[in-house]
Structure formats: C-alpha cells, structure tokens
Amino acid sequence: MTTTGARRALVVGTGLIGGSLGGALRTRGWHVTGLDADPARAARALELGVVDELGPGLDATIAFVAVPAGDAPGIVGTLLGEPGRPDDLVVTDVSGVKSPVVEAVRHPRFVGGHPMAGSEQSGTEGADPELFVGATWVLTPTLETDPAAYAAVAEVVVSLGADVVALSPADHDRLVAVVSHVPHLVAATLMNAAAEGAKADGALLRLAAGGFRDMTRVAAGQPNIWPDICAENARAIVAGLDRLLSDLGALRDKVARADRAGLLHLLESASTARRALPSSGTRPDHLAELRVPIPDRQGVLAEFTGLASGLDINIYDLTIAHSTEGPRGVLTLLVGQDEADRLRKAIEDRGHFCTVIELA
C-alpha cells in the first residue's frame, strides 16, 4: 500500500528494534518499508503491521539499519552508494558500539545511533512502538557529518519520544562500557558463580532473593550479540574490567581487615549516588527554546548538541529551519527552563549568537 504524501522511511532488519522502530514511525504518520535478510521475519513484520510493505524502499528519505553490529557497516555503505536512491538519503543505525561502524562508513549522510532501550522480549514478536518513549538515544555525529543529516535523524528520534544525547563515537563507547557492557558481563559472571555453587548445594538458588534477581536479570538476554560487542569495544571493556578488578580488590582488603569506616563510606557513597540517579523519561514542567543561527561550517550542529551533553543538559526537541539561500539555518533546541541559561552561556562562549524564549 502506498500512502501518498507521507514521509517515507526504510527499516533494514525487522527484529525487536527494527520492528519497534517501524511501529513507532507508522504510529507517527510515516510510511515504512521493511527489508530483512530473513524472509520469514520480514513476513512476520508485515503481518504484525510494524511495516507498511516489504521491499527496497527506494523512495525512502531516511533509512534505519537495525541489524547485527557486524553487518551494519556493509549495509549502511550499500544504501548510501546504491543507484536509484535519493541524493539526500540519510542513514542511521542502532548498533551498541559506535566507533567501528562510524569509522568504517565515514560518510556525511550517515549518523551513528544507539537507542538505549532494552526489552526482555526479543525478535519481531516483542516489537513495541512505544519502546523508545523516555529512552536515551545517543547520536554520534562527527566533524564530517552533514548538519542537515544530523538534524533529520535527531528530529525523528525526538518525535519517537526519546531524548537525544550527542557524543563522539569514542566517548559513547567508553561510557557504555562503564554503564552497560561491564555491568552486563558482571551479571553473567555472578549468575554463573551462583549456578556453579548450586551444583554443590541445591539450596543456594533458593536463597536468591529480589536483589540477586535484579542484579542478574540482564544476564537472561540474548547471548549471541556479546562476542561482537566485546570484540568491537574490547579496549573500553578491558579498561572498565581492570578498573573494576582494582576496585573489588580494594574492597576485598577492606572486608579482610575489617575496615568498618572504609566500608561504610563506600556503601554510603553508592547509596547516595544510586538515589540521585536521574530517572529516565521525566521532563521538567517548564521548558525553554534556544534559537541559534547556524553558521555555514561543518560539524557545528554536533558541536552544539555535544555541548549540551557535556553539560548534562537534556535536549527534548530539536528542529532546524533551513535558509532558502544555502546551508545556513536556525537551530532550535528545547531544554528545561532551569538549564537554558547555562546552555546559552556555553553557546555564546563559543562565539555564537543565541536567544532564549521561555515557554509557558
């Protein structure tokens, strides 16, 4: 079925993330074409209504590549070079490690992405059009990224309900090693140690209360994505594990020598930090709009959004109004009213002009 006039997207890979993306885009008025190497999965996506049709989607203006990390660079490259596609086709992906794909593709109209939305579901059956609401979605523009391409991806991402965090590919990979990859590997290790112990003593797992269940929940997920993640993000994961080994070694010594004050301090810091962990998906009541004329210079958009991320300021919406006379335009950023002045100052410190409008 062709929906005349609708914006048209291509989703390559119609598993959990691709299917959720298709459903989310359709809900928001897009016409979505699905493409999958597995014909059964593609058919199921059509049946579940998360895509409008199957095919190459040559008329799509944006393509989401939601395939295993190892396959992403090849597919992204093919899409960007394929005859018959629009000259301004924008491509983004969803793989969990960004440096390898961004470095392999190196194209102004490719914007690396990582929606940080998980689900204990897997496969097309688990697709959920609301999966991204309130989620953090990292985009990794580089100095070579076309600002219009970045803005196109960011606009879609915020329209799906996610909060954009712009980071360099290397920063993304280092940070996810700390908050995602290393914790996941630790969860698996704790689970294996408990399962091993349970062989000797059947009662062990019956003592596994809520805390243990919480800590090991992620270990139930898909094992087969992890060799790729570990290979692609090896350096940051090894650094994270080394840090953890050192921290746990120090903790072990505190327990062994009954350093009560040291242990209390460690647990108090952790408790304070955990309670202060920002809850995802909450938006402030009062928002402000920052308007920044964008100069004709590559990478400037990535610079602004990177600036916001570095200041720990959430961007709740992002639009770019292009000038009819060329690549200049006006960037509009929606942030919390309490944060607006901090971000304006940072933007002005970089020599740009910025106005703030407080919204009622």
**Smallest distance from a second copy to CB 342, Å:** 11
What are the beta bridge partners of residue 331?
Answer: 292, 320
Q: Are 64 and 110 in contact (CB under 8 A)?
A: no
Radius of gyration of the chain (CA): 22
How far is residue 134's CA from residue 352's CA, in Å, rounded to a whole number? 30
Report the residue number, 79 or 236, with the smaller CB distance to a second copy. Answer: 236
Using CB under 8 A, which residues numbered 40 to 79 contact a second copy? none
**Smallest distance from a second copy to CB 269, Å:** 5
Using CB under 8 A, which residues numbered 305 to 334 contact a second copy? 309-312, 314
Per-residue binding string, a second copy, 154-173, x by CB under 8 A, is ---------x-x-x---xx-
Count the alpha carbons within 13 Å of 325 in the hemisphere toward its beta carbon.
4
Using CB under 8 A, which residues numbered 330 to 359 contact a second copy? none
Please tell me the chain's helix, strand, coil percentages from 3-state DSSP, rounded to the nearest 5: 50, 15, 35
> Tokens at residue 143, please?
């100095």
Report the residue number, 9 or 138, with the smaller CB distance to a second copy. Answer: 138
How far is residue 45's CA from residue 34's CA, in Å, rounded to a whole number? 8
**Smallest distance from a second copy to CB 1, Å:** 35
How far is residue 102's CA from residue 197's CA, in Å, rounded to a whole number? 43
Q: Are 39 and 14 in contact (CB under 8 A)?
A: no
Per-residue binding string, a second copy, 83-122, x by CB under 8 A, is ---------------------------------xxx----
Q: Coil, strand or helix: which one is 164?
A: strand
**Smallest distance from a second copy to CB 33, Å:** 29
53, 103, 214, 296: which one contacts a second copy (CB under 8 A)?
Answer: 214
Using CB under 8 A, which residues numbered 231 to 260 contact a second copy? 231, 234, 237-238, 240-245, 247-249, 251-252, 254-256, 258, 260
1, 87, 274, 325: which one contacts a second copy (CB under 8 A)?
Answer: 274
